[in-house]
Amino acid sequence: MREDVLRINHVTKKYGKTVANQDISFFVDDGEAAVLLGPNGAGKSTMIKCITGLLRFEGDIEICGKPNKSLEAKRMLGYIPEVPAVYDLLTVEEHLEFIRRAYRLEDDGYAQRLMERFELWDKKDKLGKELSKGMQQKLSICCALLPRPRVAVFDEPLVGLDPHAIRELKEVFQELKASGTTVLISTHMINSVEETWDVCHIMMNGAFAATRKKGESAEQSLEELFFSITEGGEGGAV
> Where do the DSSP E strands lie in the chain?
4-15, 18-29, 33-37, 58-63, 66-67, 77-80, 151-155, 182-187, 199-204, 207-213
By CB under 8 A, tell whether 75 contacts other proteins. yes
| Interface size with other proteins, residues (CB under 8 A) | 34
Contact pick of 9, 83, 122, 233 for other proteins (by CB under 8 A): 83
70-90 in b/e form (b: 16+ CB < 10 A) is eeebbbbbbbbbbebbbeeeb
Other C-beta atoms lying within 10 Å of the C-beta of residue 238: 16
By CB under 8 A, tell whether 88 contacts other proteins. yes
Indicate the residue among 83 and 218 with the shorter CB distance to other proteins: 83
Contact pick of 14, 23, 87, 159 for other proteins (by CB under 8 A): 87
Indicate the residue among 99 and 207 with the shorter CB distance to other proteins: 99
CA distance 154 to 164: 18
Contacts (CB under 8 A) with other proteins, residues 180-219: none
Contact pick of 49, 138, 188, 201 for other proteins (by CB under 8 A): 49
By CB under 8 A, tell whether 71 contacts other proteins. yes
Return the DSSP state at 128: G
Chain contacts with other proteins (rule: CB under 8 A): 49, 52-56, 69, 71-72, 74-75, 77, 79, 81, 83, 85, 87-91, 93-94, 97-99, 101-104, 125, 127, 129, 143
